[in-house]
Amino acid sequence: MLTAPDTRQTTALARFRRGCVIPAHPLALDADRRLDERRQRALSRYYLASGAGGIAVGVHTTQFAIHDPAVGLLAPVLELAAETAAGTDAILVAGVCGDTAQAVREAELAASLGYHLVLLSPYAPLDEDALVERARAVGEVLPVIGFYLQPAVGGRHLSRDFWARLAALDSVVGIKVAPFDRYRTLDVLHGVAAAGRVGDLALYTGNDDHILADLVAPHRITVDGRPVEVEFVGGLLGQWAVWARTAVGLLEDARRARGGDDVALRRLLTLDGHLTDANAAVFDAANGYHGCIPGIHEVLRRQGLLAGRWCLDPAEELSPGQLAELDRVYAAYPHLRDDTFVAEHLDEWLA
């Protein structure tokens, strides 16, 4: 059962509600597709040094296959991140998957390792009623971040009523909104507003195709005839697994833009197109996101943080033409990259 939060947990929840950059943590493998602990730690150190508010581990970007007991990597990977972040104020988010029993077991593992929150991935065999009850059960262990995952990478369509019911659970403290679809994004916003959780439940964009517009746009929802303003406070993103130092600056600019800084707003509206174009190459949007994780790995490989693009599944590689697209966006948008920052600190992160 969920016990009363300690000071560390309370501080992490307050920070999460204020909003921050939370990169989705990749999985560092060697050429034999075994866990590369040195580079796994280096990635965590990179995100924390970049100014990210936390890290999300065991999520899609970490490769869902680690949740398979036969692979045996979930506990080691969660533990490495927790050890590396020890002594910092980083928010630790653990991705949990599967049916109710599996999700509860994984949440209990995360709690035992000092994680603050769980990101609860959808589970296709369950209907919406069962998904709400699953979230309720997991919320007895750790506070829950709901997750609208796009169908192309394992998500499903969920109704506006579902999001209202999920948001009504006290143990749900946030939602990662990542359907890559404006209509379904609005379903989540309306659901949160209908549940009366605006200002209490933190919305994080996971729409890697629309990051900056999500962060700066005013979202005004009408509930029972009265306007309610809903906003995204941060991002929990695979795209922010790369160029994380830049991401932190972009979120700071978004706060200034929401506060009335028109110069920051105009700059971000321009950069929104640049970042979306870069994301299309990294995430392999042209090929149904097949090369999404190898694309993230390729960017980190170029910076020296990873030794290669290897995934657990040997068939998971860049799509034809994706490497050329990555070359194109590298040349077109140097202002999005944080190569200099990484080069200055890489040796100490790998030490």
Would you say residue 222 has pLDDT above 90? no
- The chain-wide mean pLDDT, for the chain, equals 95
Domains of the chain, first to last: 7-261 (3.20.20.70)
The tokens describing 231, both together, are 């906003």
pTM: 0.95
Q: Which DSSP state fits 88?
A: S
Would you say residue 237 has pLDDT above 60? yes
Burial of 3 (0-12, 13-18, 19+ CB in 10 A): exposed
- Per residue in 184-205, pLDDT tens? 999 999 999 999 999 899 999 9
3-class DSSP state of 102: helix
**Residues 315, 125: Cα–Cα separation, whole Å:** 26
Strands 219-223 and 226-230: antiparallel
Task: List the one residue out of 227, 158, 229, 163 whose CA is nearest residue 191.
Answer: 163
Task: List the one residue out of 214, 253, 229 whose CA is nearest residue 336.
Answer: 253
pLDDT for position 1: 47
The tokens describing 315, both together, are 């068939």
Confidence of residue 7 (pLDDT cuts 50, 70, 90): confident
pLDDT for position 5: 52
Average pLDDT rounded to a whole number, residues 12-20: 95
pLDDT for position 224: 83
Contact assessment for residue 312 and residue 33, using Cβ atoms and an 8 Å cutoff: yes
- Per residue in 68-80, pLDDT tens? 999 999 999 999 9
The tokens describing 242, both together, are 């790369």
- Per residue in 112-159, pLDDT tens? 999 999 999 999 899 999 999 999 999 999 999 999 988 877 788 999
3-class DSSP state of 81: helix
Contact assessment for residue 296 and residue 238, using Cβ atoms and an 8 Å cutoff: yes
**Residues 312, 71: Cα–Cα separation, whole Å:** 9
pLDDT for position 291: 97
Contact assessment for residue 20 and residue 47, using Cβ atoms and an 8 Å cutoff: no
- Per residue in 250-297, pLDDT tens? 999 999 999 999 999 999 999 999 999 999 999 999 999 999 999 999
Contact assessment for residue 307 and residue 278, using Cβ atoms and an 8 Å cutoff: no
pLDDT for position 154: 77
Helix/strand number for the chain, H first, E second: 13, 10
**Residues 217, 98: Cα–Cα separation, whole Å:** 34
